[in-house]
Structure 1
C-alpha cells in the first residue's frame, strides 16, 4: 500500500507522509476532505501528495468543476500555487508510474491545459497527446461497444421481505455524517411490533436494506440508518462499494420493494419511489455502474433525480452516493452488507 485516499484529518495525513505514503487529497460528491487537509499542501510536501475526485458525480463536475475546482479551492485556502499545480500534475503522474507525462518538456506526452488565470485555474484550452480537445476530436472517437450488460440478477422482492426482526426495540443504527463516508454507531430505541422493529421518523431513523445482485445467492439484510431526513418514499442504488449489491433507504417497505425491483428492470442505476411508483430514475446499465448516455445527458437526468429525493424530505446534499457507501464494510464504524450489519472496528457482524 503506497497511496491513501481515505485520509480525513491533519494528524493522520502527517503520520502517513512521515511513514512514506503518498496522500491523495479527496474532494468527491460525498467525501469532502480538501478543507481539512489543505494545510499539508506545501511546496515541501507536494511531491508526495496528489488530488483525488473519487465519486464526484457529473452534476457537481458541471456546476463546480473537477481537478480545476480542487486547485482553485486549495489556493483559496492558502496553498501556494506551485504546490497545488505540482500536486495536480507531475506528483500525480509519478505516484501512479506515468513517467511520460506531467511536465511541459521535450519528449514528454503533450497532455496540456492552457491556463489564463493561475489562482482561479481558468482553463482556456486542453490538449491530449498534442491534439486540441474540441467537438471534432470527440466526434472522431466513434462509439464503444457496451460491456457488462444485464449484470443485475437480484431476485424480485416483496414488501414483506424488508421486515427488521429483532429481540427487542433497542438496536444500533448507522449514523450518516454529511460529507463523510465514515458513519457513527447510534443506539436507538424503535417502535416494536410482532417481533419486528419499525422506522421512527421523529428520530430520523428509517430502514436500509442490501440485496445481493450478482446471481450467486439471494442474500438480503435490513437494518436502520439515521441522518437522511427522509419523510416518505425510498431511494435505491446499484452503486454500492465495493461489492455493488443493491442498497435501498426508505420509510416504508412497499416503496423500498418498488425501487429495488426497478433497478433490476433498468439494469442498475438510481431510483426514487413514492406511493408505490417510480418518480425518478437514472439507468446505469454498464455493470450497474455506468451510463450509456453522454456526460451532458447524465447531468440533465441527475437534476430531477436529486429534486425527487429532496421531495421525500432528504436533507443530504448528495443522497445517492451517500447510499452507495452504506454497504462498504471497510470504512468505520457501522455498515450493512447482504449478510447483515457489520461492526467495522471489530470486523464482526452485529447480532441483536
Structure 2
C-alpha cells in the first residue's frame, strides 16, 4: 500500500511539473509573440499603424529603424545631430529623412549604423535606395580606435543571427517600458524630433554655459602638428569613406558642427592647436576627392562667438540645426575646394586670435 501511494505521489508531482513547464513555455511564447507583433525596436518589421511607439534608446532602436523604416535620407553622427527636426529636411530638401544619432559617436558607431543603412536587405535599399546622408564630422572623435564604439552595443540587435534574439523577446524592460507603458499612457514619440536634448530654451545662455564650464588644465608640451593624422586617416579609410565610394548615387552632406568659440579655448589649453587645424585640413581634402560629397564648414558662423546660443561649450540651440538644413539647400558655408577650406580655417584663426578669452574665463559668472 505504501509503495502504491509513493507511486501516486511521484506521478502527481510529475504531472504538476509538466503542467508548470507547459505554463512557463506558454508564458514565454506569449511574451515573445507580443514583442514580435509590436516590435518596439523595429527589429523585425516597420511600426504598426496607430501604436504609440516610444523611441528613446539609440543603441537598441537605431538598427531596427535603419533596417525597416521607410526613408530616403538619414542623419548620422553624435549629439551634434540630435536637435535636427526631420520635418525640416522634408520641407526644405524634399527628402524623407530618419534620425540615427549616437550621442558621443565614434567613427565605428557611424560605420555600424551605415552598414545597416546600405545593406541590400533594408527597406530603403529595396525601395529606391538612399538619396542622401547628412553626416556630422566631429574632428575630436577621429583619433578614436577604429574598432571601438562609444558604448557597448546590444549585438543581438545588430547581427542577423535570430537565435540570440531571446535577449530581446524575453526582455522585461522591452515588455514593460516599450509595450505596456506606452499602451497605458497612449502617447508615443514624435519621430521627427526623437533623441532631442533635454535642454529647454532657458538653458541656452552664457551664464549657464560658464557656470558649468570645466576648463582643462594647460598642457605645457605642444602636440606635434601631424600627431593626429595617422589615426584620422585610418578612421576615414576604414569607417567612413568606403560608404562614399561604394554608393556613388547617394549624396553625402558632411558638415563640421559649429562648436562655440569656447571649444577652441579647450584646444589651446590642451596645446593641440596646430594638430587640430591639420586634422580639419586633412579630412576636408580627403572628402573633397569625391563627386558625391558636399562639405560644409559652419565654425566661422558669427553665432559661435555668442555663448547665448549654447548650453555648453559645443551644444547649440535647435535654431542652428534648422539653419544648417537651410544651408544644405542653398549652399551657404559649403566648401568646394582645398583652397576654400584653407581660407575658412584662416578666418577661424582670426576669430580665435581676436576673441578675449581672458575676460570670458576670469569673469565671475
Normalising by structure 2, we get a TM-score of 0.28
Structure with the higher helix share, 1 or 2: 2
Compare CA radii of gyration and give the structure with the larger one. Answer: 2
